[in-house]
Amino acid sequence: MQKLTPSDLFSLETYARERPAFRARVLEHKQARKVALGAHLSLLFEDRLTIQYQVQEMLRIERIFEQAGIRDELDAYNPLIPDGANLKATLLIEYPDANERTRKLVELHGIEQHIALRVAGLASVIAIADEDMERSNAQKTSAVHFLRFELTPAHVAAIKSGRRIEMAVDHAAYQGVEALGAITCAALAADLD
């Protein structure tokens, strides 16, 4: 999947005008890419469009319009676009109550190292977490992690052929397995082109 370049982005003025329609398109697109892993974890599998939206939003919020600033944002976010031999996802730990969330982030310390992608008949692929920066500390995990699932050629072929895919978490304080639906499997297979 191609990385984003400045020419792929809207100017701030154009984005202000196009944002409602673009945002609606991206939110619909994300529906096929989101996987609930139990009641409190979710994965959003990123692709070029989801990352473009993130970059556009950062440029808008920070009012960045100079080329150096745009390049910095692209340098920060382009690594989250899959490259054809991997899948990339944002892991969100979601507890609506702030006090409960604080307690759970301590209990779930290290959970980002216990997320796996399973393709029927093949070895599990354990997530590589937070290559951009350390997000956890010695006491607790972060509520957001960036994950990469590095695939073998056999995994790529199996995903493209429509084999069953599951996401799993196996942590002392949280376990779960979720089979991906056909729409999500097709979206992930397209990421491998």
Q: Read off φ and ψ for residue 49, nearest 5 degrees.
A: -70, -45
Q: Between 41 and 136, name the one with better pLDDT.
A: 41
Residue 137 is predicted with a pLDDT of 64
Domain that holds residue 189: 33-46+83-193
Question: What integer best gives the mean pLDDT of the chain?
Answer: 94
Same domain membership, residue 12 and residue 103: no
Checking if the pLDDT of 74 tops 90, the result is: yes
Task: Specify whether the CB–CB gap between 82 and 73 falls below 8 A.
Answer: no
Between CA 177 and CA 187, with CA 183 as vertex, the angle to 5 degrees is 95
Average pLDDT of span 88-95: 96
pLDDT-based confidence at residue 48 (cuts at 50, 70, 90)? very high
Same domain membership, residue 110 and residue 167: yes
Query: How many residues comprise the chain?
Result: 193
Neighbours of 145 (CB within 10 A): 21
Task: Specify whether the CB–CB gap between 59 and 9 falls below 8 A.
Answer: yes
Render pLDDT for 108-167 as a digit per residue (tens, 0 to 9).
999 999 999 999 989 999 999 976 656 666 678 889 999 999 999 999 999 999 999 999
Task: Specify whether the CB–CB gap between 179 and 108 falls below 8 A.
Answer: no
Same domain membership, residue 110 and residue 170: yes
Residue 1 is predicted with a pLDDT of 78
Residue 135 is predicted with a pLDDT of 60
Checking if the pLDDT of 81 tops 80, the result is: yes
Same domain membership, residue 131 and residue 56: no
The domain tally of the chain equals: 2
Same domain membership, residue 66 and residue 39: no
Task: Specify whether the CB–CB gap between 81 and 193 falls below 8 A.
Answer: no
Q: What is the C-alpha separation between 43 and 68, in angstroms, rounded?
A: 31
H-type alpha helices, 95-152 = 98-107
Please give the model's pTM, rounded to 2 decimal places.
Answer: 0.91
pLDDT-based confidence at residue 190 (cuts at 50, 70, 90)? very high
CATH number, domain with residue 177:
2.60.40
Average pLDDT of span 165-181: 96
Same domain membership, residue 175 and residue 92: yes
Q: Percent of the chain at pLDDT above 70?
A: 96
